Amino acid sequence: MRKIFALVPFLLAACSTAPADPPIHGVTPGHKCQTEGTDQFIGKSESNSTGEAIKHVSHAAVLRWAPPGMMLTMDYREDRVTVHLGPDKKITEIKCG
Which domains are seen in the chain, by residue range?
Answer: 26-96 (3.30.10.10)
Residue-level pLDDT at 67:
96
Amino acid making up residue 67: P
Residue-level pLDDT at 95:
96
> CA neighbours within 13 Å on the CB side: how many for 28?
13
Residue-level pLDDT at 30:
84
Residue-level pLDDT at 21:
47
Nearest-angstrom CA–CA distance, 66 and 84: 5
Residue-level pLDDT at 11:
57
Residue-level pLDDT at 87:
96
pTM above 0.85, yes or no: no
Ranges under pLDDT 70 in the chain = 1-26
Of 85, 86, 88, residue with least CA distance to 63: 85
Residue-level pLDDT at 27:
77
